[in-house]
Amino acid sequence: MGQKISLLDCTLRDGGYVNDWKFGHDNMVSVFERVVDAGTDIIEIGFLDERRPFDYDRSIMPDTDSVEKIYGDLDRKGTKVFGMIDYGTCGIQNIKPCAESYLDGIRVIFKKHLRVQALDFCAELKKLGYIVFAQLVSVTAYTDEELLDLCRLANERKPDAVSMVDTYGLTHQNDLRHILEILDKNLDGNIAIGYHGHNNFQMGYANCQMVLAYSRETDRDLLVDGSLYGMGKSAGNAPIELVAMHMNNEYGKDYQLSQYLEAIDANIMQFYQPATWGYSLFFFIAASNDCHPDYVKQLTNKHTLSIKQMNELLGKLEGEKKLLYDKNYMEKLYLEFQDKEINDAESLKALSEQLKGKTILVTGPGTTMDTESPRISEFVMSRDPVIISINYASKAFMPDYIFLTNSKRYIQLSTLLSKQKIPIIATSNVTPTDKPFEYVINISELLDRSSEYADNSLMMILKILMISGIKEVNLAGFDGYSGTDANYLDEGKEYEFAKKKADYLNNYMSGFIRAHKDDIKVNFLTSTRYDIS
């Protein structure tokens, strides 16, 4: 391995015990990209299990060809990509040679009574060109004599690493160190040692620290596992954001913590209820900024900041104000942060030049995009408009631009954006995964602070168009809100508050359009509950 100490993310594999590996393809893509962009050394993208049929939305796959189908278009950058096999559940016939596979390596887990056969299987995988890790399930169940026998077998088969898997979270540091010392003294020096912990005793993070500290006593390569927010079976795993923070502080690493936190917020939290595990992101953010948790609650309730921006803002707290909560003080900091965050003059100028003199069609996610598609098609064919889609993209009417105001909607577009090069107009609260957005508009200039929902996306795009000098716009798929019927073409995108606040939302948007009728003419191509007469 050659890196001395390394960090492995196992969210898409171990986290799958929580949701039967059904993360959804967009979430899988987003987690992959965030973990890679964080600079993680290794990402484990799921199980290889021949008993499970291929499912585009699940991170449990019958063979290596399935890995290619799900992840093959993604840029791994400097990160190694691994899969895992529970010995006996995926035969060698399902594994293509490494040169023909998207995977760089495979981890094989096995119980101690299967160690001979499992290590023989590891040797077969090595012959196919893979980096291979042998994972000792329930390592606490091994006697010292069995550990010595395991070392003898590993030295003959030569996996690239042997990992201590604390399946039931039973080890404390003295116990783990004892096992680690036996492996270190008896394994071939070219075999790395890893640690995969569970948090039943809340020792996963502390044990990772102990294993990493052992690097000062050995020349052997070491690696530790973590998962986003500790997502994993039962009590979960060591949280990778904590381990990465420790490695940055103590070992000179440069993992990008904001990418992990964005992935937690956008991809992982939706699975936390009702299948909760581990600790709290809310208190992690407060503790990592040495501040009162009510500041985090105040900023979270605004629904305008990304996790990265929230951390930046909390970092501005000074002195005793950090732990003595002052709502007005934070509100002042928040307004200053929003006002000074970016200069969007260049973006607005460039956007104005691109849209000048064009017919504009803005599409929304309402059900009329499907039910009234012939009317939209006729308009598109006859007028050849520039199409701007808000927080989603219609497959029937592929947009020329996507307007993003919401980090979670950004994640839901991950698969499309990884394949299509669609220019993005984003408000400044949305954090890109990799390259900058083409156009970034300061959200503070778009918010309507008099409204109960200050960041209405239709309201904000209309403001941008007015600033850009557009005098007329056509809308499709903006159906307004119903208290009983589906409000979105994809019901999975339904906001919890929408049906409860349907009348308020309809009245607000209707009033906004009427108030600006002299600034911009709004034409609805599809049926709507908004009353602009």
Structure tokens at 205: 């993070």
| CA atoms of 211 and 194, how far apart (whole Å) | 8
- Amino acid identity at 29: V
Per DSSP, the three-state class of 358 is coil
Strand partners, 427: 441
Query: Is the pTM of the predicted complex or chain greater than 0.85?
Result: no
- Amino acid identity at 54: F
Angle between helices 240-251 and 204-213 (to 10 degrees): 30
| CA atoms of 351 and 225, how far apart (whole Å) | 45
Domain ranges of the chain: 5-268, 285-340, 345-524
Strand partners, 43: 9, 81
| CA atoms of 484 and 465, how far apart (whole Å) | 32
H helix runs in 403-478, sequence order:
407-412, 414-419, 457-467
State phi, psi for 62 to the nearest 5 degrees.
-75, -20
State phi, psi for 227 to the nearest 5 degrees.
-135, 155
Contacts of 236 (CB under 8 A, 6+ apart): 198, 199, 204, 227, 229, 230, 277, 278
- Flag residues of the chain having pLDDT under 70: 1-3, 279-280, 303-304, 338-341, 487, 489-499
Using CA of residue 350, residue 352, residue 358, residue 363, what is the dihedral sign? positive
| CA atoms of 456 and 462, how far apart (whole Å) | 10
**CB-count exposure of residue 428 (10 Å: 0-12, 13-18, 19+):** buried
Class of domain 5-268: alpha beta
Contacts of 515 (CB under 8 A, 6+ apart): none
Using CA of residue 265, residue 14, residue 129, residue 131, what is the dihedral sign? positive
E strands in 330-455:
360-363, 386-390, 401-404, 424-427, 439-441
Torsion angle defined by CA atoms of residues 266, 25, 41 and 5, in that order, rounded to the nearest 10 degrees: 70
Q: Which residue has the tokens 């492996």?
A: 183
**CB-count exposure of residue 134 (10 Å: 0-12, 13-18, 19+):** buried
- Residue 196 — left, alpha, or beta (φ > 0 → left; ψ -120 to 50 → alpha)? beta
| CA atoms of 206 and 172, how far apart (whole Å) | 9
Type and span of the H or E element at 61: strand 60-61
State phi, psi for 222 to the nearest 5 degrees.
-130, 150
Q: Return the number of other C-beta atoms located less than 10 Å from residue 316's C-beta.
A: 13
Type and span of the H or E element at 122: helix 115-127
Angle between helices 281-288 and 240-251 (to 10 degrees): 20
The predicted pLDDT at position 1 comes to 42
| CA atoms of 18 and 436, how far apart (whole Å) | 33
The predicted pLDDT at position 305 comes to 76
Per DSSP, the three-state class of 222 is strand
Whole-angstrom Cα Rg for the chain = 26
